[in-house]
Structures are given as structure tokens and as C-alpha cells.
DNA sequence: CCTATTTACTTGTAGTGTCAAGTAAATGCT
DNA sequence: AGCATTTACTTGACACTACAAGTAAATAGG
């Protein structure tokens, strides 16, 4: 089957988009590490827990919400647990499952980290976009996720939290 | 200064966009690793060299084009050199600088890897987007790069290559 | 021209992510 | 009920990236 190469418009979009994908994580990690001693992924894990009922989620669900593999999450939760930010407890309903919960220190860490993180997101992302571009970005991301995440693991309808992701 | 929190539309866009940013590299890496024994970053390095005059670029320029730090690039080039895909030569004009060039094997590797890679990009990204969304994505990415890459290191005007990035 | 600074890397170490394998509990089949 | 399979993790080894420090050549200042 012949390759369907990219045309000029697609290629131009792709080169820039890839650059964004390469650069954005570094920007987020650098700020969070400097100000809060957290990686962006660690922050995101804490933030997702902070929004969950009882600040608790099963590892599988937490992995889905953070777009991570279980293996990656397990390692990260181990580290966060060692730092006292998260606690693991066996799930009563299912003997195979583990619940991860935010500790008080963990809660304090997200609350402390959130403003600086949100400011970074705003200044590096949303300040550059017009309101209609925010909508376009949402639609484009939604479209891409149907291909990148066909099972729609993380496509849980969004509920507004009291703190977290970028509240 | 009070935190400028994200509104609902921004938050929704952000959660999905972050998911894309987390998932896309994995998709690209998995395909390239499986079919061509290359990471996406390694592929991109080879692709950028394949488009350069003489298939050669100074490390600093190659780093700029691949959105990487010099340290990261240096490690990767060492590995590619060990595999015979790239060759390092001291730059005649500047004693501090190093030129990286694609070898014949390196060229063969990009040419072999390109169709599968492009097919992945097409099926996971562009097939999900309408033509106007491709333009929107390009404009959004361009806008974000002004914040993420203020020096405009990688914003070199694009020339169509004979093979490479996603030709 | 001689020294200070900047530029262009390279390298070692330490932290993170991936992959493969392993464990244990729940589910499905007959 | 009993065995096979699937699910839900955990763990260890290895690969890759980031950060910090080091080297060497070019440039800039006095």
C-alpha cells in the first residue's frame, strides 16, 4: 500500500505541534520541581486524588485519569507514599485492587502547588490563545483522543473540583 | 497577586490537551520501536539530518531543530554513532563545534522507517481532523511556541525535503 | 596581547519511565 | 466444585533524560 505522505499544510502543522509536545512537559516540570519539588505527573496524580470522593481512587482508575500505565503509576505512588503524600490501602470490595488516598500532607502539597502551576499554564498556554482558539483546541484534542485513547479511558465527563488539576 | 484560575472552557481544553501530550509520544515511540528499532526522538534526529545540506548539521543547530538540549542530543548522537547511523566530525570553521552527519546506513534507516511512521501520524492525528482543524492546529501551535520557545530556536521557515520528518 | 567570559559541546550521576515477568485474587467455563 | 483465564496490581532490570560539572576553543575587554 502506497504511503499517504503529508501535504505542506499538514507537515507544517505537524512540525510545530511536535515541538509543542516536546517543549511543554519540560516547562511544566521545571516550574513545579523548582517551586514545589514535584514533577508534573506527580502533581497531576495528587490533583486527581484531591478531586475524588474521599480523596481516594483505585490504582486502575487513577491510572486512567492520569493517562498512565499501571506500572508507571505504581512506581510514582510508591515514591509519593515514601514522602507521606499518599497512602495505599487494600480495597475491601476487591482483594486484587489497591486504593490510593491523599494524606493531609498530600492535600497541603497540592493546595500549595496549584497557584504557581496554574499561573504557568495560563502564561505559557492560555495567554497565547484567543477564546475561540481555546474551543478549537478542545475540539482538536477531543478528536485526537478518539484515536490515541480509543477506549476513552480518561474521557470521563468533567466535574468541577474544589481544588486540583488547574481549578 | 491573586491566582487567575482557569474557567470551565479552559479547564476542559487543558485536561484533554494534557492527555494528548501524554499519550502521543507513547504511540509514536511504540510504532517506531517495534518496526524500526528507533525512538521517535532518534527518528527525528535522523530525519532532520536527512533534510540538511550534505546531510550534516552542527550539534547546536540539530538540537534547535529537534527541540532538545545539547546534553540530550549528545547522548543520543553517541548511541546513533555506535550503531553506525550517524558520524561525528570536528567542525573546520569552529574548533569548539561538532558536525553530525548521516551515514549511508542512517539514510537507509530513515527511508525505511518513514512510511510506517507517516502512516501512524496520519492514522492517529490527521485522519481525525478536518482540513480547517489542521490550520487551526498550526496556528495554535505557532502561538504556543512564542511562549514555550521565545527564542524561536526551532521556528526555522520550513523547506520541503526529499525525505524526512514526515515527508 | 593577555585575561575574563561566553559558547559549544561532553560526560557522569541520579531520577524516571518502560518492558517483562511475577503474584494473587476474581471471574468464567464445564 | 475445579481449572483456566483475566484482572489488578507490584517489582526488577534496563533505557533514557535532566542536571551539574568539566573541557576546550572562540570572543570581548582593557
Q: Which of residues 85-104 of B touch A (CB under 8 A)?
A: none
The architecture CATH gives domain A31-148: Orthogonal Bundle (1.10)
Q: Is the pLDDT of residue B166 over 80?
A: no
- Which residues lie near nucleic chain C, judged by CB under 7 A? A 39, 41, 68-69, 71-72, 75-76, 79, 94-96; B 26, 29-30, 33, 58-61, 70-71, 73-75, 77-78, 88, 91, 94, 96-98
Task: Give A49-62 pLDDT, tens digit per residue.
Answer: 999 999 999 999 99
Q: Is the pLDDT of residue B3 over 70?
A: yes
Q: Between chains, do A119 and B12 touch, taking CB under 8 Å as contact? A: no
**Residue A55 burial (CB count, 10 A):** 20
Contact (CB, 8 A) for B5 and A167: yes
C-alpha cell at B3: 491566582
A78 touches strand D (CB under 7 A): yes
* Mean pLDDT, rounded, for B61-71: 96
The string of DSSP letters for chain B reads -------HHHHHHHHHHHHHHHHHHHHHHHHHHHHHS--HHHHHHHHHHHHSGGGEEEHHHHHHHTT--HHHHHHHHHHHHHTTSEEEEE-SS-TT-EEEEE-HHHHHHHHHHHHHHHHHHHHHTGGGS-HHHHHHHHHHHHHHHHHH-TT-SS-PPP---SSSS--
Q: Cα–Cα distances in Å, from B16 out to A69, A145, A160, B35, B103?
A: 17, 8, 14, 29, 40
Please give the residue of chain A at the shortest CA–CA distance from B26.
Answer: A148
pLDDT of residue A2: 82
Does A78 contact B at CB distance below 8 Å? no
Q: Is the pLDDT of residue B158 over 50?
A: no
Domain boundaries, chain A: 31-148
Task: Give A11-69 pLDDT, tens digit per residue.
Answer: 999 999 999 999 999 999 999 999 999 999 999 999 999 999 999 999 999 999 999 99
Nearest to B51 by CA among B149, B167, B150, B161: B161
Q: Which residue is nearest to nucleotide C19 (CA to C1')?
A: A71
Facing residue for B11 by CB, picked from A3, A18, A165: A165
* Domain B28-148 bears CATH identifier 1.10.10.10: yes
Amino acid at each position: 500500500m502506497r504511503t499517504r505522505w503529508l501535504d505542506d499544510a499538514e507537515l507544517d502543522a505537524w512540525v510545530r505541534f511536535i515541538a509543542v509536545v516536546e517543549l511543554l512537559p519540560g516547562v511544566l516540570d521545571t516550574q513545579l520541581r523548582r517551586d514545589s519539588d514535584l514533577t508534573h505527573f506527580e502533581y497531576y496524580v495528587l490533583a486527581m486524588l484531591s478531586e475524588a470522593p474521599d480523596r481516594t481512587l483505585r490504582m486502575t482508575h487513577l491510572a486512567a485519569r492520569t493517562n498512565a500505565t499501571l506500572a508507571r503509576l505504581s512506581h510514582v505512588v510508591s515514591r509519593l507514599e515514601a514522602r507521606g503524600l499518599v497512602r495505599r490501602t487494600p480495597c475491601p470490595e476487591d482483594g486484587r485492587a489497591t486504593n490510593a488516598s491523599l494524606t493531609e500532607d498530600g492535600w497541603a502539597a497540592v493546595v500549595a502547588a496549584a497557584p504557581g502551576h496554574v499561573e504557568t499554564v495560563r502564561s505559557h498556554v492560555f495567554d497565547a490563545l484567543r477564546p475561540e482558539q481555546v474551543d478549537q483546541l478542545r475540539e482538536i484534542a477531543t478528536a485526537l483522543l478518539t484515536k490515541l485513547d480509543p477506549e476513552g479511558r480518561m474521557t470521563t465527563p468533567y466535574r468541577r473540583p474544589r481544588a486540583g488539576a488547574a481549578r
